[in-house]
């Protein structure tokens, strides 16, 4: 047995059941993610994928009926979203929110400042000039016009630019676990490649990710270590990257009822 096998998972979800109102969405789901791993969760609309990752991030709209969530050795079941973010979790939304009157630069500066302060009590506020240079460098890597930094966050952005802004935030924050909720939704091929390269460049022993997607096209550029099929609120099959290609060809019909609706 190797030394690595003794390590506890970065994320450990056990028998998690989640409901919205009185409607059950996620049922008895278990999943472990080790440091440095990339997992993909695939499934049809209504299977509970977005509910699952939003619950991991602490969205208050979802009620946890039973189960446990441990992250970095800490039970976070009752932790609010901001505490989970400070621990190193990050959620890239399927539909990023607009923040009228808050420039992208100001938003990202505040987020990075708070994150770094949480990680290092001795941290001193970052120089705005130093941050501007870092921001411009990251925007260049994502082929983003620097002028977007002065615009209200996500306001008037195209779907692709919103997704790039989410990846930009992730690259600046350097989370330990990124939850990517259908980041490929609405992207053309060129934008998809840029976003995927932005995520892929972060891969390493200190970065893990859960990628939620319907289709295998994103996984052509970000090859996952593990692929899971989510049907009607639970993971019904797991495998390697080949599973994603099989699903692309065969679909989800063989799993029977595919949603909670």
| Positions in the chain short of pLDDT 70 | 1-6, 257-261
The pTM (predicted TM-score) of the whole model is: 0.89
Give a yes or no: residue 241 inside a domain.
yes
DSSP string, 156-225: T--HHHHHHHHHHHHHHH--SEEEEESTTTT--HHHHHHHHHHHHTT-BTTBEEEEEESSSSGGGTS--S
* Residue 110 confidence (pLDDT): 92
Task: For residue 211, give the nearest of 184, 189, 236 by alpha carbon.
Answer: 184
- The secondary structure of the chain in percent helix, strand, coil, rounded to multiples of 5, reads 35, 30, 35
Give a yes or no: residue 3 inside a domain.
no
Give a yes or no: residue 41 inside a domain.
yes
Domain boundaries, position 58: 8-255
**Tally of structural domains, the chain:** 1
Q: Which tokens in the block code for residue 179?
A: 């939850």
Backbone angles phi, psi at 70, to 5 degrees: -115, 135
Of the chain, the end-to-end C-alpha distance in Å amounts to: 44
DSSP state of 9: P
* Residue 260 confidence (pLDDT): 61
Contacts with 128 (C-beta within 8 Å, 6 or more apart), sequence order: 109
Query: What's the CATH number where 91 sits?
Result: 3.40.50.300
* Residue 124 confidence (pLDDT): 80
* Residue 4 confidence (pLDDT): 43
* Residue 115 confidence (pLDDT): 85
Specify the DSSP element, H or E, that contains 69.
Answer: strand 63-71
Q: Alpha-carbon torsion 71, 73, 76, 77, what sign?
A: positive
Give a yes or no: residue 261 inside a domain.
no
Say whether 24 sits in a helix, a strand or coil: strand
* Residue 22 confidence (pLDDT): 85
* Residue 1 confidence (pLDDT): 38
């Amino acid at each position: 047995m190797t030394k690595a096998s003794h390590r506890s998972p970065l994320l450990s979800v056990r028998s998690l059941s989640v409901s919205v109102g009185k409607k059950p969405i996620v049922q008895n789901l278990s999943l472990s993610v080790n440091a440095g791993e990339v997992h993909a969760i695939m499934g049809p609309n209504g299977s509970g994928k977005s509910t699952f990752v939003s619950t991991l991030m602490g969205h208050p709209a979802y009620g946890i009926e039973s189960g446990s969530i441990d992250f970095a050795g800490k039970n976070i079941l009752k932790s609010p979203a901001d505490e989970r973010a400070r621990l190193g979790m990050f959620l890239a939304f399927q539909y990023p929110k607009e923040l009228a009157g808050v420039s992208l630069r100001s938003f990202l500066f505040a987020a990075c400042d708070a994150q770094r302060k949480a990680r290092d009590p001795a941290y001193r506020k970052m120089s705005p000039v130093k941050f501007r240079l870092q921001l411009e460098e990251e925007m260049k890597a994502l082929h983003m016009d620097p002028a977007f930094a002065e615009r209200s966050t996500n306001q008037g952005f195209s779907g692709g630019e919103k997704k790039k802004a989410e990846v930009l935030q992730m690259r600046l924050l350097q989370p330990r676990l990124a939850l990517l909720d259908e980041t490929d939704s609405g992207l053309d091929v060129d934008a998809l490649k840029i976003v995927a390269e932005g995520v892929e460049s972060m891969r390493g022993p200190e970065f893990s990710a859960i990628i939620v997607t319907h289709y295998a096209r994103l996984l052509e550029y970000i090859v996952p270590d593990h692929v899971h099929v989510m049907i009607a609120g639970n993971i019904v099959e797991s495998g390697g990257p080949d599973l994603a290609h099989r699903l692309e060809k065969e679909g989800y019909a063989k799993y029977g009822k595919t949603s909670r609706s």
